[in-house]
Structure 1
């Protein structure tokens, strides 16, 4: 348990150390400081390609839910996700900080960690995020001075949509929000804030690769349609399906081994739901600096 608690920070530190070692070896043949060059111009549509101000990326990977229906490592039930976005660099923010926008489609799912409670959900979702990305190594216009591996961190805010569905005892899935299984009305859009860590791998002037992972903190406790602690009274529902979806513990035999979950325990309203996103992708840089400036024996001096 202690190793699991510190495994993520240790992994981040190892990745940073690896990037420093790799980049240090690649720069042994070039002595001196980073190439300073001229200050970067302000944003201009005509100069975006020339000064490499804009990059776009596409990613694929997995998403996993974290909330009332799971506990610890049991939460890692991965579902597919696909995303795209753009990075904007300006001289106002320096050579390390970028403005970033993401849009992503993803799925979430969980059955119940406590079998006697017998709840579950699945949901298709969208997220829209605006964030800042800080690169550990500064941007360099000369290709030979760019690091092979550049770690980065990001943090931002955004919105997500969610639409929980639950499985009826007969196997059919029903949309839970309209059933109001807790006699609570809620919307399908929530505010979120996020933070994460990633690595960029240099390939060429126009292309690079990325891997990253991050957590989304949301302002809703209804991604899974489970929030309140006590079950509503079955007689309070006009819809029989809503009543059965609200309390499915009677549909599962209780053998006494699930003592951590009392019969009248449904959710935990003190904690909000969230989810992890793990991605790998490719980045395209809008640039005109992709040809050697010199030929022959001077190719080492190309940008």
Structure 2
């Protein structure tokens, strides 16, 4: 892919395979708020989840039309009760994560080019995939409701909490352009993990499968230009 300097332009121009010029960037700051959900040994049912708050801060950068790279730091809580009443298990986990990802926007947007031939897209759906690190700190207990201040937590199955795991997020979303520099986004992503201790009930549940979780957030994206 070739590149050249355009005299009056302050930003460098790049060219796609159809010789359309575009600029890389801008850098966008993102902030999101939503909920976290659990999927693992105890349950895969949304009805048995105790969704917790999820928040994130990140950056986005457009590499070329249709493709962006991003990084994000998140803090979130998840919890759930057991599908099996006889086990009577439940847990709560307060976690943090950092990730890098690619975001692919499949539909055409003239605003991504340096020589737009029409109006820019107002609504743009996208797909995302990436990799990251998770710091998780679960507490398990007997019960069928969210923990209270008087809840007695069980002895942890591991003695190294908070522990770390690798995560691989895959998700989708839709972005709505509010102004030239401000977007609103709705996003949902599922996170595959390398741990079966996200709920601290691996041995008690006797499962060989790793746990996972999901996050759904509403976000604002602000561009510097």
TM score, norm. by length of structure 1: 0.60
Partner of 1:89: 62
Partner of 2:189: 214
**How do 1:97-108 and structure 2 match up within 5 A?**
97-108=67-78
**How do 1:16-95 and structure 2 match up within 5 A?**
38-40=21-23, 52-90=25-63, 94-95=64-65
* Alignment check: 8 A CA contact 2:23 2:113 kept: no
Output the CA distance in 2 between the equivalents of 1:206 and 1:55.
Answer: 9
Partner of 2:9: none
Partner of 1:158: 132
Greater strand proportion:
2
Count of matched residue pairs:
198
Output the CA distance in 2 between the equivalents of 1:180 and 1:59.
Answer: 31
* Alignment check: 8 A CA contact 1:165 1:173 kept: no
Partner of 1:197: 172
Greater helix proportion:
1
Which contiguous aligned blocks of 4+ residues in structure 1 show a shift greater than 6 angstroms?
none
User: Helix, strand or coil for the counterpart of 1:89?
Assistant: strand
Output the CA distance in 1 between the equivalents of 2:97 and 2:132.
Answer: 7
Residue 166 of structure 1: how far off its partner (Å): 2.6
The runs of 5 or more residues in structure 1 that have no matched partner are: 1-35, 42-51, 229-265, 288-303
Residue 71 of structure 1: how far off its partner (Å): 3.5
1:124 is aligned to 2:97: no
The runs of 5 or more residues in structure 2 that have no matched partner are: 1-18
Residue 180 of structure 1: how far off its partner (Å): 4.4
Output the CA distance in 1 between the equivalents of 2:29 and 2:55.
Answer: 14
Residue 120 of structure 1: how far off its partner (Å): 1.2
Larger Rg: 1
Output the CA distance in 2 between the equivalents of 1:146 and 1:125.
Answer: 38
CA RMSD in angstroms, aligned pairs only? 2.4
1:146 is aligned to 2:84: no
* Alignment check: 8 A CA contact 2:49 2:81 kept: no
Output the CA distance in 1 between the equivalents of 2:182 and 2:194.
Answer: 36
* Alignment check: 8 A CA contact 1:154 1:197 kept: yes
Output the CA distance in 1 between the equivalents of 2:82 and 2:122.
Answer: 43
Output the CA distance in 2 between the equivalents of 1:133 and 1:75.
Answer: 31
Residue 267 of structure 1: how far off its partner (Å): 1.2
